[in-house]
Amino acid sequence: MHVTVAVVGGDEHGCALDDDATYADLIRAVGYHPQEASILVDGSPVPGDRVVDADRVTLLRLIKGGAT
């Protein structure tokens, strides 16, 4: 399965995933941890343990940066 991930405020990524991959797997494939990002499908958040069922999603980073 091929999924296009549009990162809010960032780039788009194309990801090739297994058919049983979850949204948490997709977040990891783009290089983030599931605790720092959420996936939106048609503008609504989806649970990380749900099997990917969309070919285009938005990734919203919940945590960015840190203390200096």
Q: Is the pLDDT of residue 65 over 90?
A: no
Cα 62 to Cα 20, 52, 58: the distances in Å are 25, 20, 13
- The residues spanned by each domain of the chain are 2-61
Q: Is the pLDDT of residue 13 over 70?
A: yes
Mean pLDDT score of the chain: 93
Domain 2-61 has CATH 3.40.1190.20: no
In tens, the pLDDT along 34-55 reads: 999 999 999 999 999 999 999 9
Q: What is the pTM of this model?
A: 0.89
Distance CA(21)–CA(63), nearest Å, equals 23
Distance CA(9)–CA(32), nearest Å, equals 14
The per-residue pLDDT for 27 is 97
Distance CA(64)–CA(41), nearest Å, equals 21
